[in-house]
Each structure stands twice: as C-alpha cells, then as structure tokens.
C-alpha cells in the first residue's frame, strides 16, 4: 500500500450550505464531476468531498448516529505567524466561525481554529518544524 490518500469525505447534513462555505468562504472551485449529491474539490494531490452523512454511513453499512467531537481536524499550514493572522481574519470576515484565536503553542508553533458551518475543525497553523509540500 503506497503512502498516499485519494479522498477525504466529509459527511454533511446540508450540502448546499456546506458547498457554499467551501466555495465562497474558502474560495475553492468544485470539480466538474460534482453533482447536487456530491461535491469534489481538488487539493494538493488529495481531493476533499462533501457528501450526505446518512448516505455516507449507508455506503459503508454502518449506523449513521453520531454526536459530539468527530475526533479529527484538518489543517492548513502557512509560512509565518503573520500569514496565519491574515488568513484567519480573512476567513472570519467572510463568515467562518471562530473556534480559537491564533496564539503561540507550547511546541513552538502558532495556530488558531475555525469551523465550517457543521463544526468540522480547520486549524490554521505555522509550524516551523514541519515542512509543507
């Protein structure tokens, strides 16, 4: 198994609202393969998909019930603390919800968190120890 991933799929309750968030707040362009049922965004290598959460659970034949913390976060790394601040402010000004204001962290980095309309966590971070590709 190669060290790669093709797709991250977020199970969503309201695909229209979520799709609008990723296109208008993040400013991302959906792939032409997107439909009303599924939205794809081509990222760096990996794709992000938005798909109905009940349908996603059904696809895997598992119960759709779930609540609280989803035990994952997505991160968008930037080249400096200043870039984190600028990106954070820009996303907030476009309607992203603040989860945590950027601040220095004990391990030597700098990060803040925003959430998409359904609470998926995005960390905006400067990490001097982890090269971004």
- Smallest separation, CB 14 to a copy of itself (Å): 13
The span from the CA of 112 to the CA of 84, in Å, is 8
Is 87 in contact with 76 (CB distance < 8 Å)? yes
Kindly state whether residue 88 participates in binding a copy of itself, applying the rule CB under 8 A: no
Of 16, 20, 24, 62, the one binding a copy of itself (CB under 8 A) is 62
Closest CA to 12 of 57, 52, 55, 71: 52
For the window 15-54, what string marks contact with a copy of itself as x by the rule CB under 8 A?
A: -----------xxxx---x------xxxxxxxxx----x-
- Smallest separation, CB 59 to a copy of itself (Å): 8
Per rule CB under 8 A, count of chain residues that contact a copy of itself: 64
Kindly state whether residue 93 participates in binding a copy of itself, applying the rule CB under 8 A: no
Please give the biggest Cα pair distance in the chain: 45
- Smallest separation, CB 17 to a copy of itself (Å): 15
Closest CA to 113 of 86, 59, 81, 73: 73
Is 59 in contact with 107 (CB distance < 8 Å)? no
Kindly state whether residue 66 participates in binding a copy of itself, applying the rule CB under 8 A: yes
């Amino acid at each position: 198994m190669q060290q790669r991933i093709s797709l991250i799929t977020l199970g969503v309750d309201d695909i229209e609202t979520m799709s609008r968030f990723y296109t208008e707040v993040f400013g991302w362009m959906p792939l032409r393969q997107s439909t009303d049922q599924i939205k794809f965004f081509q990222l760096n290598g990996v794709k992000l998909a938005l798909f109905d959460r009940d349908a996603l659970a059904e696809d895997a034949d598992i119960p759709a019930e779930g609540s609280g913390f989803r035990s994952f976060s997505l991160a968008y790394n930037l080249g400096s603390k200043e870039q984190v601040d600028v990106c954070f402010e820009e996303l907030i000004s476009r309607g992203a919800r603040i989860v945590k204001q950027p601040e220095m962290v004990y391990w030597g980095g700098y990060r803040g968190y925003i959430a998409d309309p359904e609470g998926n966590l995005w960390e905006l971070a400067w990490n001097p120890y982890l090269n971004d590709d």
